[in-house]
Structure formats: structure tokens, C-alpha cells
Amino acid sequence: MAKNDEVIMLDFWLSPYARRVQIALEEKGIKYEIKEEDLPNNKSTLLLQLNPVYKKVPVLIHNGKPICESLVVLEYIDEVWNHKSPSLLPSDPYHRAQARFWADYVDKKIYDNAMKFFKTEGEEKEDGKKGLIEGLKVMEEQVGGDRTYFGGDNIGLVDVILVPLFSWFYVYKFTNNLNFVSQESFPNLFAWAKKCTERDSVSKCIPKEQKVFEHFQQRNLLNSDQ
Amino acid sequence: MADEVVLLDFWPSPFGMRVRIALAEKGIDYEGREEDLSNKSPLLLKMNPVNKQIPVLIHKGRPISESLIIVQYIDEAWSNNKSPLLPSDPYQRANARFWADYIDKKIYSTGRLVWGTTGEVQEKAKEELRESFRVLEKELAEKTYFGGDMFGLVDVALIPFYSWFYTLETTANFSITEEFPRLVSWAKRCMQRDSVSNSVPDQYKIYDFLLDLKKKMHSIE
């Protein structure tokens, strides 16, 4: 693409959805600028203007044009910078459909349930925990052995989508409430996450688990309902 | 050739309708197999072990699940066809995917609450649905289709829910035609396409089905 490409991302450091986009940009070696939003109470005029439907990060602004929703942004990045590796999606239609299926599953089963677990109380929180464990068990079967990444030999869409949530999971070291997500219960996933975080792109983007833990503590997001 | 493509389907499913429309738009021969969702076939359970849901497209023995993923697969696997379902420009493609995803998030679950509940829950859902229709009408603006001149992904994603309009209006006592005339014009325009009219059942047939389903849902509680 043109040498004068301007790529900006409206961001919030804690958002795992925004991390997905940043990892993709880093992996492809695309130059970008981050504009940090002060969430949740002080959204910028720019954010409200460029994402009027959801008013959320991440928003990618490419040469002034906004793209919203992290999965949509990732496919956009893959298509526009298709000459830069890695390819987030395979070239064959069937394998692309499989990657999209798993990306959608991760969003609905893992992320939605994780958000429920972290952000609600009582029965809803229990529902979230149950759904999350079910989803992680399914993903545990999809990686490991001769599959280094969900994408196969190289990092791909599903890896980029799932790995940011692990910075939230790593806080299990500091609290008992998350002890159901551990290396013992999900050895393949933890080995995969470790491999991902060894990549420069990923380690640069993922926030330190201590910072995440402190944020959760401050907001009382790790209280159990005992 | 027809045995290369099989669609596991259920006639009133809006998600099944999307795939039927996409296959028809591309002129693809296929074998449609009706599933009894209270007694799912071994084939369905084998081909979609994760979600166990229709629609599932089976192409040369390999399954693809999730309606919008299937529609994009159809567009990519039969790409030398003259009826593309997505535009070629990446920014416009991103826009199409954004709106298809919006429809997925906002219409089905809210619509279900509108025809499936009463009282406060129904009122709240009705307001949410109205807001979504407002947003969609704004996005449609003066265009022929959501994609512009070309019937595409977003139209395919939304038009099956037109079969719910009579049910929504009757159970929740409001007129979609009066409140959202542009949306209804768009829907009627889509229904003029053979691919759509052959894939989307009659609103009254759907009404009978949904009312029956509502009775069953309430008798379980």
C-alpha cells in the first residue's frame, strides 16, 4: 500500500478486543499510532463520531476512514495488507470458513462468558463460569500436539483473537476465584499462550498481569459471592 | 452435481433462509434436508458437533456451520460467478461485515423476546427492536439495497426476518410498515427476487409456527 498510509487505533489498554488489533498490526509490521481513550466515563468526541453504533474501542482509522468491531478490523487488515505475512486467514475457502467458525466460537463462548464471569454477580456469574469452562475445554482439544497454533504452523486469526484474554486469566495466580483456569486444567492452552507471548508482537501488546489484577481489585471485579 | 452440496435445514429458520438465498443467488444445485430439531439426525450431530444446529452446508463431504460464515464460504468457493455477495473493495467489505454482524447481534434475540413474551419484558424488547430498525433504516438511506445497487451480504442477513414482521406487529401491537416505510419497501424489493421469494416462507405460515412455538415455550415453564 501507499507509503503515506495513516493508521490510527482508538484504544483502551485493558480491552482484549483492542489488543487483538494491535497484535495484528505488530505481526504485519504496519506502522500505527495509538490514541488512548479514557474509559468508561470520558469517551472522546472522536470515538463517539467514528463508532456511533457501539461507541466502543477498538476503532481502526485508516487514512481517515473508520472500521469497527475487532473481527471485522482483523479481516480488513488481512485484506489490505495481504502482501505482508503472516496471513491471518488461509487462502482456501474451506479453511477460511473453519478459521471464521472458531473465531466466532471464541467470541461467543469464551469472551462473552468471561465477561459475564468478571462483570456480574450471583447466578449470572456462575453461568458465565460454566460456559467459560465448557468453551475452554473445547479449545483445549483444538491445539497442542503437532498444532503449535490454532492456525497450524504459524499464528493466525484464532490465535490473535484468543490470546489477549489470557492476560486476564493469568491473574488466577493472585486470587482463588479464577483457580478453575490453570495450567493443570488446561495444559495445551497454557503451553499455546506461552508460545504466543514469546513472540515480540504479542509480548509488546499484552498488559502485565499485575496491572490487570490491580485494576480488577480496584473495581471489585474479583469478589466471590461467599 | 447436486449430491456435492447438501444443506441441513429447518424451514422456519431465518438462518437457514440466508443460506437458501445465497445458494439460489449463485444458481447452485443442492440437496436440502429438513431436520427435526427435537430429533436431530446423526448426520447433523456429526457435521456440527460443537453447536448441533442448522444450517450446516456440506460441500464435497466437508461441513461448514454458522449462516453468515456459510454465505461467505459460498461467495468465495463459487467466486467466478457473476453474482458476488460481497463487494471487491476492502473498506466496503468491512462495512458489509459490520452490518451483517449488527443484524446478528440485534435482531434475532430481541425479536424473539418481542413475539415470545408479554408485559414489561415485551415492551422493553419492542423499544430495542425499534431502535435497531431505526439504525438500519438510517444505514439503508436512499439505497436500493444495503450494499448499494448490488444485493449482497447485509440484505441476505436481514431479509429472512421480514417473515417475522406480521408476527411482531400482531403480538406486540405496532405497525412496522407505518413506522419504518423505507425498510418495508426494501424488504418488498428483495422479495421480488426469485432467490428470496423461494427461500423465505409466507408471513402467515411463520406466524402459525411462532405462535405454536410460543405456546410450547410457555407450557415448559
Q: What is the pLDDT of residues B177-189, one digit of tens each?
A: 999 999 999 999 9
Residue A224 CB partners (closer than 8 Å, separation 6+): A176, A177
CB contact under 8 A, B102 and A53: yes
Residues of chain B positioned with their CB less than 8 A from the CB of A100: 66, 69, 72
ipTM: 0.95
Single out the residue of B110, B202, B90, B197 nearest to residue B151, CA to CA. Answer: B197
CA A167 to chain CA centroid, nearest Å = 9
Each residue of B128-170: pLDDT tens digit? 999 999 999 999 999 999 999 999 999 999 999 999 999 999 9
The angle at the Cα of A171, spanning A167 to A174, to the nearest 5 degrees, equals: 160
Each residue of A41-71: pLDDT tens digit? 899 999 999 999 999 999 999 999 999 999 9
Count other Cβ atoms within 10 Å, centred on residue A99: 22
Express as a percent the part of chain B with pLDDT over 90: 94
CA distance A25 to chain B (A): 16
Each residue of B92-120: pLDDT tens digit? 999 999 999 999 999 999 999 999 999 99
Q: Amino acid identity of A52? A: P
Measured between alpha carbons, how far is B143 from B95 in angstroms, rounded to an integer? 15
pLDDT of residue A225: 41
CB contact under 8 A, B65 and A101: yes
Measured between alpha carbons, how far is A139 from A18 in angstroms, rounded to an integer? 21
Q: Amino acid identity of B201? A: P
Q: What are residue B9's DSSP bridge partners?
A: B34
Mutate to test the interface with B, among A17, A62, A69 (most CBs of B within 10 A): A69
Distances (CA, A) of B95 to A2, A215, B91, B149: 22, 34, 6, 15
pTM of the model: 0.95
Residue A188 CB partners (closer than 8 Å, separation 6+): A140, A141, A143, A144
Measured between alpha carbons, how far is B211 from B15 in angstroms, rounded to an integer? 19
Q: Give the containing element (helix H, strand E) for A14.
A: none
Express as a percent the part of chain A with pLDDT over 90: 78
Each residue of B17-72: pLDDT tens digit? 999 999 999 999 999 999 999 999 999 999 999 999 999 999 999 999 999 999 99
Taking the Cβ of residue A72 and every Cβ of chain B, the question of whether any pair is shorter than 8 Å is answered with: yes
CA A182 to chain CA centroid, nearest Å = 18
